Amino acid sequence: MATLPVDAIKPLADKHPKPPNVLFQYGTAGFRTLGDALDPVMFRVGVLAALRSKRLDGKTIGVMVTASHNPEPDNGVKLVDPRGEMLEVLWENHATTLANAASTEDFIAAVQTLVTNSRIDLSKPARVVYARDTRPSGPALVASLEDGLKAMGAETRNAGVTTTPVLHYLVKAINTKGTKDSYGDDSEEGYLEKLSSAFKKLVAGKSTASPLIVDCANGVGAIVGKKLAEALGSSLPLNLQNTAIDTVGALNNACGADFVKTSQKLPPSLASVLKRGERGCSLDGDADRLIYYYMDEREQFHMLDGDKIAALVAAFIVDLTKSAGLEEVVQVGIVQTAYANGGSTKYLSERLPVKCVSTGVKHLHHAAERYDVGVYFEANGHGTVIFSPETLEKLATHQPSTPAQSTALNHLINLTKVINQTVGDALSDMLLVEIVLAHKSYSGVEWDALYMDLPNRLVKVVVADRHIFKTEDAERRLVSPPGLQARIDELVRRYAGGRSFVRPSGTEDVVRVYAEATIRSQADELAFRVAGLVYDETGGDPARRPAEFL
- The catalytic residue positions are 68
In whole angstroms, give the CA distance from residue 488 to residue 501.
Answer: 8
Bond before 542 cis per omega within 30 degrees: no
Separation in Å, CA 241 to CA 254, 271, 283, 313, 543: 13, 12, 10, 25, 41
In whole angstroms, give the CA distance from residue 195 to residue 178.
Answer: 20
C-beta separation of 337 from 358 below 8 A:
yes
Judging by beta carbons within 10 Å of its beta carbon (0-12, 13-18, 19+), is residue 194 exposed, middle or buried? Answer: buried
In whole angstroms, give the CA distance from residue 169 to residue 167.
Answer: 5
C-beta separation of 221 from 453 below 8 A:
no
Rg for the chain (alpha carbons), in Å? 23
In whole angstroms, give the CA distance from residue 334 to residue 193.
Answer: 28
C-beta separation of 50 from 148 below 8 A:
yes
In whole angstroms, give the CA distance from residue 137 to residue 37.
Answer: 10
In whole angstroms, give the CA distance from residue 394 to residue 296.
Answer: 42
Around 30, how many Cα atoms within 13 Å sit in the side-chain half-sphere? 26
Report residue 486 CA to chain centroid gap.
32
C-beta separation of 251 from 317 below 8 A:
no
Of 177, 182, 184, 74, nearest to 127 by C-alpha is: 177
Report residue 233 CA to chain centroid gap.
27
In whole angstroms, give the CA distance from residue 197 to residue 320.
Answer: 20
- According to DSSP, the residues that pair with 243 across neighbouring strands are none
Report the first-to-last Cα separation within the chain, whole angstroms.
Answer: 66
Judging by beta carbons within 10 Å of its beta carbon (0-12, 13-18, 19+), is residue 253 exposed, middle or buried? Answer: middle
In whole angstroms, give the CA distance from residue 145 to residue 47.
Answer: 8
Separation in Å, CA 490 to CA 274, 485, 486, 511: 42, 9, 6, 20
Helix segments in 292-443, DSSP class H = 306-323, 342-349, 361-368, 389-397, 403-418, 426-440
Of 94, 152, 164, 155, nearest to 129 by C-alpha is: 155
SS3 category, 386 = strand
In whole angstroms, give the CA distance from residue 76 to residue 37.
Answer: 10
